[in-house]
């Protein structure tokens, strides 16, 4: 077994094409971003090497730290919502009548592009004619807030569509993982008199553990570099109340023409993601993994 | 079966690469022989008037290109169309790799600066001396002048009046204000009657900047504003501070629509168009919506009037001074292989654009147009007249400032309107950003 | 006789009643959520039948008195949409296939084969998903420009495959770890080669996760527009997302037409999704080679 499975030629054949592609298309930009970050550059003229100046500026830049805080907050909310997605996936994967149809319907919103989702939620949050406020007014709420204009509310108002946008993605992965569990296991447990809660907790959860760990990393990294809806719906405003790291990076590089500093922000974002991933890996490390058998 | 798939995929990759090499040769043929007179030449032209939404402009662009190609049979103009936001991004990426199109669209002053500093745009002074001499409206080409040379030729010229809904004004017995006190009274009356006075979409920030710029001009006078933006005068100047304070007073008086800091200009505009808000301060580019756009009810279009931003009692500015400026202009890339051809095309384009753009797209061009010969809606004629009487034009602040300072200005505008910054902080941040330069 | 029936039979009538109520509540919730999840599509359809005035003035779910089908006509006539459409289809298909196959090979090598550098290589793939897209635009453009790939579909495909590869590997990883090793062990003893084992045994066994990653890749590639705009300048290579741009002007935007474009562009992936989504369920059944 070992001899076949450590055939160097096969490993190279399987891994190298993808690895080379990644190195060329992703790593060269990563290295260059790191390099630009050490320069003062407006993206047009010549670069001026300034060493770690941009990073020193970053450490003192309250806008950056606020945006980092917002991104981290989004990561926390994404993690919490993973539990909800898992629960939904469990229900959908159960032998319910119509589960198949429900699953398809539940995943439809994830097909929509960010442009469409942003427009939909702008209509929901519109301060005077939006669905949300019309509803609140009909319930007797006097002068409901302008969701996207209120610095204290805007971030949470944005989290809802973001989490909703990604719900399909995670439900889909969990669903596939749950469906991958051989039905024989569940049936055997039922014969032994296990309740469905026990089955979910004792059998299904451990078996999808590896998938769960992966989605935790995906949710955190995805949240930390999140950009789309925030940029379209509030542009990071008002007054930076909904600025996240990626939108701040974009604004600095492409609007303020400060490509050097923008690159430093981009690189810092990468490092924060890296640290977060490392922490998650450490926290979720287990000695052996459980397989279906 | 799976082997077949792999083979298929690999073949696909190879075909792709081969296709890549194939079309590369084509391009080189096109650009290579530019130097020889009469040889085939391709001029790449990047602009932001897509057929779908800017049908008028797009049609004119195509007409001009067709005519030009007919007159110069060896020249092909290749267009690339992007929307505003994507256009700006792409321009940035292209310039970082020194791959700008031969001809493209640019904005004035602050936007232009880095491209000029980086020697990416070619001076077009020679064109100003030729066929186009004296064709431009005074003050338009100056905005594209950096260090004594002009780097682009303007196509549009816009000023920003306050549009108002005559029907709403009549209903509450209001007149277009001529003094600031009257304006305040209009705001008060409308608020008392539960009508939102002013549509403002300050998510886009430059929209709020218009209000601040007018107040700054009216309180401090055009020269002081210009000096402050150049860094020769502090924003802590008493009159400028008054302007910032006045902005917050308007916010307190509920002069702007609810949630304005979270609304886009597009959303705010609809509040005005559907009669929910009574006034709207915006550039003359909106005129087609108030005159010829059939999608908007005629009843509404007929009830739109405009007034000049009123003078402030004891202020140093006057009502004939406008905030505005040239919109987009055309540049020629300094590193273009077909620079001469590109310049000829720009000259031709600008000379044809003027008249056609007023009648065909409702654009107020930067070149002089004899309006008496044209059939134009009254609103246009009135505004043309106002323009001729203008005492001065204050360039849009975000256009005027360098990119970095402009970002700070826009952020501070949103903070000022949102009362997240005091007028003092507003002034401090401006001074700091302008001093730092870009 | 199913296990479920046996359980119910053993239950007291009270418990059975409670269970029924529980199911009823569950279904009510499920149906309510399903309706909510369908709203966006309905909204988009209505949106695409309005003009700007109606988009902003009417409540989002109001049915326009005069549905503007001409928005669709406008979109079709605005030129090139057929070209964009075909480009979207083939670029999405090629990129998705390449990503899923390549990522499966890598995941297999990382989880199943024994070599020293495997965790380092996995780390390299994971770091690759942490860079913000906008940071890569300028370096990527100049790189593609140097090798003459700008304005070629190849630049898009390479980028899509490379940028979606890490996330695809990550998802596959969770599934591969849980796959039983016995089947392969048996196969090796029978003298099966690695290739044969991967393509004949492992690949089919993972068909449900492959369908999952294919759906995800497909959605990402289909909706992508930043790279298209940056790398592609010729109309003949642009994709459907560019069609949306056709209706965003400098000062105004034609929302109805954008809605129509979005509606047109969602149909193909909706259909593909419904098809692929069934593959997920078949996953383990089709892959079970035990017995």
Does a structural domain hold residue B83? yes
Please identify among residues 76-95 of chain B the ones whose CB lies closer than 8 Å to any CB of chain C: 80-86, 89-90, 92-94
Is residue B1 over pLDDT 50? no
Q: Which residues have a Cβ under 8 Å from the Cβ of B92 and sit 6 or more positions away?
A: A43, A44, A254, A257, C138
CATH code (residue B232): 3.40.190.10
Identify each DSSP E strand in chain A by its residue range.
39-40, 48-49
Q: Which residues of chain A have pLDDT under 70?
A: 1-2, 287-293
Please compute the mean of the pLDDT values over residues B208-215 and round it to a whole number. 97
Domain shared by B23 and B149, yes or no: yes
Task: State how many domains chain B has.
Answer: 2
Cis, bond preceding A166 (omega within 30 deg of 0): no
CA distance B351 to B285: 20
Q: Do the Cβ atoms of A250 and C111 come closer than 8 Å?
A: no
Model confidence band, residue C89 (pLDDT cutoffs 50, 70, 90): very high
* 3-class DSSP assignment, residue A235: coil
Q: Which chains touch C (3 or more CB pairs under 8 A)?
A: A, B
pLDDT of residue C6: 42
Domain shared by B34 and B101, yes or no: yes
Does a structural domain hold residue B316? no
pLDDT of residue C281: 66
Helix boundaries (H) for C130-250: 133-146, 153-178, 182-189, 194-196, 203-205, 207-223, 226-231, 240-245
Q: What is the pLDDT of residues C179-207, one digit of tens each?
A: 877 877 888 888 888 888 888 888 888 88
Shortest distance, CA A151 to any CA of chain C (angstroms) = 24
Please compute the mean of the pLDDT values over residues C131-149 and round it to a whole number. 92
Domain shared by B408 and B354, yes or no: no
Is residue B18 over pLDDT 50? no
- Closest of C167, C171, C172 to residue C126, by C-alpha: C167
CA distance C47 to C255: 8
Lowest mean pLDDT among A192-201, A223-232, B146-155, B188-197: A192-201
> Quick check: B111 contacting A, CB < 8 Å?
no
- Closest of A82, A217, A246 to residue A163, by C-alpha: A82
Please compute the mean of the pLDDT values over residues B214-223 and round it to a whole number. 95
Q: Which chains touch B (3 or more CB pairs under 8 A)?
A: A, C
Q: What is the pLDDT of residues B51-101, one digit of tens each?
A: 887 888 889 999 999 999 999 999 999 999 998 888 999 999 999 988 999
Domain shared by B29 and B139, yes or no: yes
Q: Which residues have a Cβ under 8 Å from the Cβ of C33 and sit 6 or more positions away?
A: A106
Q: How many C-beta neighbours within 10 Å does residue C93 have?
A: 16
CA distance A63 to A65: 6
CA distance B63 to B99: 27
Angle, in degrees to the nearest 10, between helices C118-127 and A259-283? 130
Nearest CA in chain B to C76: B52
Shortest distance, CA C283 to any CA of chain B (angstroms) = 18
pLDDT of residue B27: 42
pLDDT of residue A289: 56
User: Which residue has better confidence, A277 or B35?
Assistant: A277
* 3-class DSSP assignment, residue C46: helix
Contact C37 A106 (CB under 8 A): yes
CA distance A235 to A243: 7
Does a structural domain hold residue B290? no
Q: How far apart are the first and last CA of chain C?
A: 23
- The residue among B378, B393, B411 that closes a domain is B378
Domain shared by B28 and B75, yes or no: yes
Please compute the mean of the pLDDT values over residues B201-217 and round it to a whole number. 96
pLDDT of residue B32: 41
> Quick check: C210 contacting A, CB < 8 Å?
no
Does a structural domain hold residue B309? no
> Quick check: B255 contacting A, CB < 8 Å?
no
Q: Which domain holds residue B226?
A: 162-282+401-436
Please identify among residues 213-242 of chain A the ones whose CB lies closer than 8 Å to any CB of chain C: 213-215, 217-218, 221, 224-225, 227
Shortest distance, CA C81 to any CA of chain A (angstroms) = 18
Q: How many C-beta neighbours within 10 Å does residue A191 have?
A: 11
Q: Which of B45, B47, B51, B52 to mutate to test the interface with C (most CBs of C within 10 A)?
A: B52
- Closest of C100, C96, C104, C99 to residue C198, by C-alpha: C104
Model confidence band, residue B2 (pLDDT cutoffs 50, 70, 90): very low
Does a structural domain hold residue B4? no
Q: Which residues have a Cβ under 8 Å from the Cβ of B354 and sit 6 or more positions away?
A: B135, B365, B366, B367, B368, B369
Domain shared by B148 and B60, yes or no: yes
Q: What is the pLDDT of residues B301-357, one digit of tens each?
A: 999 999 999 999 999 999 999 999 888 999 999 999 999 999 999 999 999 998 888
pLDDT of residue B14: 45
Domain shared by B261 and B182, yes or no: yes
pLDDT of residue C250: 77
Does a structural domain hold residue B295? no
Is residue C153 over pLDDT 90? yes
Burial class (CB in 10 A: 0-12, 13-18, 19+), B293: middle
CA distance B234 to B228: 6
- Closest of C121, C177, C123, C163 to residue A278, by C-alpha: C123
Is residue B24 over pLDDT 50? no
Please compute the mean of the pLDDT values over residues C107-125 and round it to a whole number. 91
Domain shared by B362 and B421, yes or no: no
* Chain B neighbors of C108, CB-CB under 8 A: none
Mean residue pLDDT across chain B: 88
Is residue B360 over pLDDT 60? yes
Is residue B161 over pLDDT 70? yes
pLDDT of residue A57: 95
Is residue B385 over pLDDT 50? yes
Q: How many C-beta neighbours within 10 Å does residue A192 have?
A: 9
Shortest distance, CA C189 to any CA of chain B (angstroms) = 22
User: Structure tokens of B190?
Assistant: 């409308």
pLDDT of residue C244: 82
pLDDT of residue B34: 43
Residue that is written with structure tokens 């009648």 in the block: B359
Domain shared by B406 and B277, yes or no: yes
Q: Which residues have a Cβ under 8 Å from the Cβ of A237 and sit 6 or more positions away?
A: A154, A243, B203, B205, B261, B262, B414
Residue that is written with structure tokens 């319910």 in the block: A96
Q: Do the Cβ atoms of C179 and C65 come closer than 8 Å?
A: no
Domain shared by B153 and B182, yes or no: no
> Quick check: A102 contacting C, CB < 8 Å?
yes
Does a structural domain hold residue B305? no
Q: Which of A45, A127, A146 sits opposite B114 (nearest CB)?
A: A45
Q: What is the pLDDT of residues A24-80, one digit of tens each?
A: 999 999 999 999 999 999 888 889 999 999 999 999 999 999 999 999 999 999 999
Residue that is written with structure tokens 């992007």 in the block: B82
What percentage of residues in chain B have a pLDDT greater than 90?
A: 67
CA distance A165 to C258: 20
Cα atoms in the Cβ-side hemisphere of radius 13 Å centred on B374: 19
Does a structural domain hold residue B55? yes
Q: Do the Cβ atoms of C153 and B16 come closer than 8 Å?
A: yes
Domain shared by B176 and B67, yes or no: no
pLDDT of residue C282: 58
Q: Do the Cβ atoms of A211 and A170 come closer than 8 Å?
A: no
Shortest distance, CA A246 to any CA of chain B (angstroms) = 15
Please compute the mean of the pLDDT values over residues C276-289 and round it to a whole number. 60
Domain shared by B372 and B409, yes or no: no
């Amino acid at each position: 077994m070992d001899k076949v499975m450590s055939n160097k030629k096969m490993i190279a054949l399987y891994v190298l094409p993808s690895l080379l592609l990644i190195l060329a298309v992703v790593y060269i930009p990563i290295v260059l971003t790191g390099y630009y970050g050490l320069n003062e550059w407006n993206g047009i003229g010549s670069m001026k090497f300034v060493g770690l100046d941009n990073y020193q500026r970053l450490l003192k830049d309250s806008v950056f730290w606020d945006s980092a805080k917002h991104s981290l907050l989004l990561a926390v909310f994404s993690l919490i919502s993973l539990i909800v997605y898992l629960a939904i996936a469990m229900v959908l994967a159960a032998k319910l009548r119509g589960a198949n149809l429900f699953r398809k319907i539940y995943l439809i919103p994830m097909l929509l592009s960010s442009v469409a989702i942003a427009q939909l939620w702008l209509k929901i949050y519109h301060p005077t004619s939006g669905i949300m406020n019309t509803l609140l007014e009909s319930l007797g709420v006097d002068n409901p807030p302008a969701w996207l204009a209120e610095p204290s509310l805007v971030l949470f108002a944005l989290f809802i569509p973001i989490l909703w946008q990604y719900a399909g993605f995670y439900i889909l992965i969990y669903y596939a993982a749950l469906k991958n569990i051989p039905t024989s296991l569940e049936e055997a447990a039922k014969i032994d008199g296990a309740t469905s809660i026990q089955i979910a907790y004792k059998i299904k959860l451990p078996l999808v553990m590896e998938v769960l760990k992966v989605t935790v990393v995906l949710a955190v990294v995805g949240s930390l570099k999140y950009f789309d809806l925030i940029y379209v719906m509030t542009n990071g405003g008002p007054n930076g109340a909904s600025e996240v790291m990626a939108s701040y990076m974009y604004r600095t590089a492409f609007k303020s023409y400060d490509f050097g500093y923008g690159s430093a922000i981009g690189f810092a974002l990468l490092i924060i993601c890296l640290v977060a991933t490392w922490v998650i890996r450490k926290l979720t490390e287990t000695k052996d993994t459980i397989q279906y058998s | 079966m799976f082997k077949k798939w792999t083979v298929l995929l690999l073949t696909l990759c190879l075909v792709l690469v081969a296709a890549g090499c194939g079309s590369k040769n084509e391009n080189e043929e096109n650009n290579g022989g530019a130097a020889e007179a009469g040889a085939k030449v391709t001029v790449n032209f990047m602009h932001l008037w897509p057929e779908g939404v800017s049908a008028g402009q797009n049609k004119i662009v195509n007409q001009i290109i067709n005519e030009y190609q007919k007159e110069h049979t060896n020249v092909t103009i290749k267009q690339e169309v992007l929307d505003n936001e994507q256009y700006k991004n792409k321009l940035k990426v292209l310039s970082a790799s020194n791959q700008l199109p031969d001809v493209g669209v640019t904005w004035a002053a602050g936007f232009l600066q880095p491209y000029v500093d980086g020697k990416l745009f070619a001076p077009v002074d020679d064109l100003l001396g030729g066929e186009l001499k004296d064709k431009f409206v005074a003050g338009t080409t100056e905005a594209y002048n950096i260090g004594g040379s002009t780097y682009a030729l303007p196509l549009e010229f816009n000023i920003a009046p306050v549009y108002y809904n005559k029907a709403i004004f009549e209903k509450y017995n209001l007149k277009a204000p001529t003094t600031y006190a009257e304006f305040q009274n209009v705001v008060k009356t409308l608020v008392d009657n539960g009508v939102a006075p002013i549509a403002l979409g300050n998510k886009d920030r430059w929209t709020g900047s218009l209000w601040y710029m007018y107040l700054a001009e009216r309180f401090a006078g055009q020269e002081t504003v210009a000096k402050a933006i150049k860094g020769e005068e502090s924003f802590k100047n008493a009159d400028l501070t008054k302007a910032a304070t006045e902005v917050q007073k308007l916010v307190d008086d509920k002069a702007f629509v609810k949630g304005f800091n979270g609304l886009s200009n597009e959303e705010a505009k609809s509040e005005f168009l559907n009669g929910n808000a009574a006034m709207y301060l915006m550039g003359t580019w909106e005129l087609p919506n108030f005159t010829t756009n059939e999608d908007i009810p005629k009843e509404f279009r007929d009830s739109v009037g405009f007034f000049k931003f009123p003078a402030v009692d004891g202020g140093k500015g006057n009502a004939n001074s406008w905030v505005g400026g040239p919109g987009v202009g055309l540049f020629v890339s300094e590193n273009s292989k077909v620079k001469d051809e590109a310049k000829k095309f720009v000259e031709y384009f600008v000379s044809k654009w003027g008249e056609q753009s007023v009648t065909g797209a409702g654009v107020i061009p930067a070149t002089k147009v004899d309006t008496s010969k044209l059939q134009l809606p009254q609103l246009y004629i009135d505004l043309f007249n106002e323009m001729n009487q203008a005492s001065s034009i204050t360039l849009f602040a975000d256009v005027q400032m360098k990119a970095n300072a402009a970002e700070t200005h826009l952020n501070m505008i949103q903070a000022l309107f949102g009362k997240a910054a005091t007028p003092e902080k507003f002034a401090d941040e401006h001074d700091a950003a302008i001093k730092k330069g870009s | 006789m199913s296990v479920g029936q046996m359980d119910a039979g053993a239950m007291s009538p009270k418990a059975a009643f409670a269970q029924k109520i529980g199911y009823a509540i569950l279904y009510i919730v499920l149906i309510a959520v399903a309706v909510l999840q369908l709203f966006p599509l309905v909204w988009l359809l209505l949106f695409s039948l309005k003009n700007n005035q109606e988009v902003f003035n009417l409540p989002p779910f109001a049915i326009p008195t005069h549905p503007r089908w001409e928005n669709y006509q406008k979109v079709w006539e605005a030129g090139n949409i057929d070209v964009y459409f075909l480009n979207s289809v083939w670029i999405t298909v090629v990129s998705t296939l390449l990503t899923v196959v390549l990522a499966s090979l890598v995941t297999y090598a990382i989880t199943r084969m024994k070599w020293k550098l495997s965790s380092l290589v996995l780390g390299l793939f994971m770091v690759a998903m942490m860079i913000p897209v906008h940071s890569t635009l300028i370096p990527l453009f100049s790189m593609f420009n140097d090798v003459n790939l700008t304005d070629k579909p190849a630049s898009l495909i390479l980028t899509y495959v490379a940028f979606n590869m890490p996330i695809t590997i990550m998802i596959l990883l969770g599934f591969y770890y849980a796959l039983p090793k016995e089947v392969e062990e048996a196969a090796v003893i029978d003298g099966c080669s690695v290739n044969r084992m991967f393509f004949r045994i492992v690949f089919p066994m993972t068909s449900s996760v492959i369908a999952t990653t294919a759906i995800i890749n497909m959605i990402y590639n289909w909706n992508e527009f930043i790279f298209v705009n940056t790398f592609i300048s010729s109309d003949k290579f642009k994709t459907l997302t560019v069609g949306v741009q056709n209706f965003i002007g400098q000062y105004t935007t034609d929302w109805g037409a954008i809605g129509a474009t979005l509606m047109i562009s969602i149909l193909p992936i909706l259909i593909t999704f419904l098809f692929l989504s069934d593959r997920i369920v078949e996953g383990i059944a089709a892959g079970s080679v035990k017995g």
